[in-house]
Structure 1
Amino acid sequence: MSPKPLLVAAVLLAAGRSKRMGRPKQLADLNGQPLCLYAAQALAEVYSPLLAVIPPGAVGEGIRAALAGLPFTFVVNPQPELGMASSFRVAAESLPAGLGGAAFALADMPLVSADLHAKLLSAFRETNAPVVIAAYGTGEDAVRAPPHLLRADLLPELLTLPDADHGPRRIIAAQGKSVLTLNFPAAMLLDVDTPEGLKEAWAALKERG
């Protein structure tokens, strides 16, 4: 009888300040539901346990309410103004012990599907690669972007991320050729930062049916 695989957690990074949107984008209406719920639902179909990093105050409470039907544990980033690295540090401090790894996804990427997450997780379990990441598009035009799945031994390194780092790029780069990259359609790469981006997401979801 083969040993049971270690749990792989998922982290929803939802503490952004929405400067370019002009209002809390996590709670912006997208086809009748809050923007953050799309990314959260996709994670919840694949991963357990689930963690959401949220900002303090009313926006954070709004996110809690939006995700109330999903089994997320919430942790507050008290200083989201420090940037994305601060949310990675908060997540790393809050993840439970005994994990095999953790995937990190952005709350403002509503076109990332549960199928994409399932493929990342399957590749990780099959290879035990230190990092499994998504790339959108093909060839030289492919763009590496979240979600990222990091093996457990790399998670403590997130605690050392300086505020100047947008995310774990240096940690990923240090793994060199051991990083496993899976390619997905370029159309899935939509990071909703502006009202125009929200309109694009709405149109893409309508096309998807």
Structure 2
Amino acid sequence: MSPQPSPGPVAGVLLAAGRGTRMGQPKQLVHLRGVPLVRHAALALAGGGFDVLLAVIPPGAVGEGVQAALADLPFTFAVNSAPARGLAGSFRVAAAALPAGVAAAHFALADMPRLTPGVHARLLAAFRETGAPLVLAEYGDPDTAGVRAPPHLFRADLFAALRVLPDADHGPRRLLQQHAREAVTLRLPADLLTDVDTPEDLARLEGEA
């Protein structure tokens, strides 16, 4: 028997603890069109209709800068004290910090500024309608193979697995594979799959403004 759609609260989680080594500086705080990069992602997530908003940030001055950039938005913050260990650590920190009673958590990255509130709302609506354990995004044009990338939404019964992700997995890749047959996947336009890793990435987006 398939699970019933869940009416419980859903958290929107912003993973913003990366080191930005290819950027040469903390990329969360570089400015895109006059706004810190992390704020672009946070505004989109905040507009997605989630009941709870959580941001995972690094320790120290960069984390303080992220908090300042989002100070007027209703995020709570959890610190990933060892961001150098990779993305899996941020998932662990987030899963441990989620409040009791949430039905699912939707994870977005801080360096994908083309995502809109509507994209996040679509994944949330798919969860509300289906109660699926995973709601995934896949990017690509209609006649091409899709590329799976965040945001990803996880139902609460998967939180325990998120809390023990090994660093070697570089995120929840193995967990996604294990539950792929139960997942709902939404196809999104290929041009939304843009992350900012280098100064060249940033300059290209600035040139499109």
| Cα distance in structure 2, aligned partners of 1:203 and 1:78 | 35
Specify the alignment match of 2:184 in structure 1: 180
Q: Aligned match of 1:162 in 159, 166, 183?
A: 166
- What SS class does the counterpart of residue 137 from structure 2 fall into? strand
Distance 1:84 1:127, change over 3 A: same
| Cα distance in structure 2, aligned partners of 1:179 and 1:199 | 36
Identity of aligned residues (%): 60
Q: 1:92 offset after TM fit, Å? A: 0.6
Once the two structures are superposed, residues 18-63 of structure 1 have per-residue CA deviations (whole angstroms, 9 ceiling, x without a partner) of 1000001000010010000011001111212100000001000000
User: How do 1:87-98 residues align onto structure 2 when only pairs under 5 Å count?
Assistant: 87-98=90-101
Specify the alignment match of 1:69 in structure 2: 72
Specify the alignment match of 1:53 in structure 2: 56
Specify the alignment match of 2:119 in structure 1: 116
Give structure 2 stretches of 5+ with no counterpart: none
- What SS class does the counterpart of residue 164 from structure 1 fall into? helix
| Cα distance in structure 2, aligned partners of 1:169 and 1:4 | 24
Q: 1:200 offset after TM fit, Å? A: 2.4
Give structure 1 stretches of 5+ with no counterpart: none
Aligned length: 203
| Cα distance in structure 1, aligned partners of 2:36 and 2:137 | 24
Specify the alignment match of 1:86 in structure 2: 89
Contact 1:89 1:158 in 2 (8 A): yes
Q: 1:5 offset after TM fit, Å? A: 1.6
- What SS class does the counterpart of residue 168 from structure 2 fall into? coil
Scaled by the length of structure 1, the TM-score of the pair is 0.94
- What SS class does the counterpart of residue 169 from structure 2 fall into? coil
Contact 1:190 1:201 in 2 (8 A): no
Distance 1:121 1:80, change over 3 A: same
Q: Does 1:10 align with 2:12?
A: yes
- What SS class does the counterpart of residue 201 from structure 1 fall into? helix
- What SS class does the counterpart of residue 22 from structure 1 fall into? coil
Q: Aligned match of 1:200 in 196, 199, 204?
A: 204
Out of 13-22 and 45-54, give the one that drifted further: 45-54
| Cα distance in structure 1, aligned partners of 2:144 and 2:174 | 20
- What SS class does the counterpart of residue 89 from structure 1 fall into? helix
Specify the alignment match of 2:108 in structure 1: 105
Question: What amino acid does structure 1 have at the position aligned with 2:113?
Answer: P
Contact 1:111 1:201 in 2 (8 A): no
Contact 2:136 2:183 in 1 (8 A): yes
Once the two structures are superposed, residues 54-79 of structure 1 have per-residue CA deviations (whole angstroms, 9 ceiling, x without a partner) of 00010000000000010000111110
Q: Aligned match of 2:22 in 14, 20, 42?
A: 20
Question: What amino acid does structure 1 have at the position aligned with 2:160?
Answer: P
Out of 72-81 and 134-143, give the one that drifted further: 134-143
Specify the alignment match of 1:35 in structure 2: 37
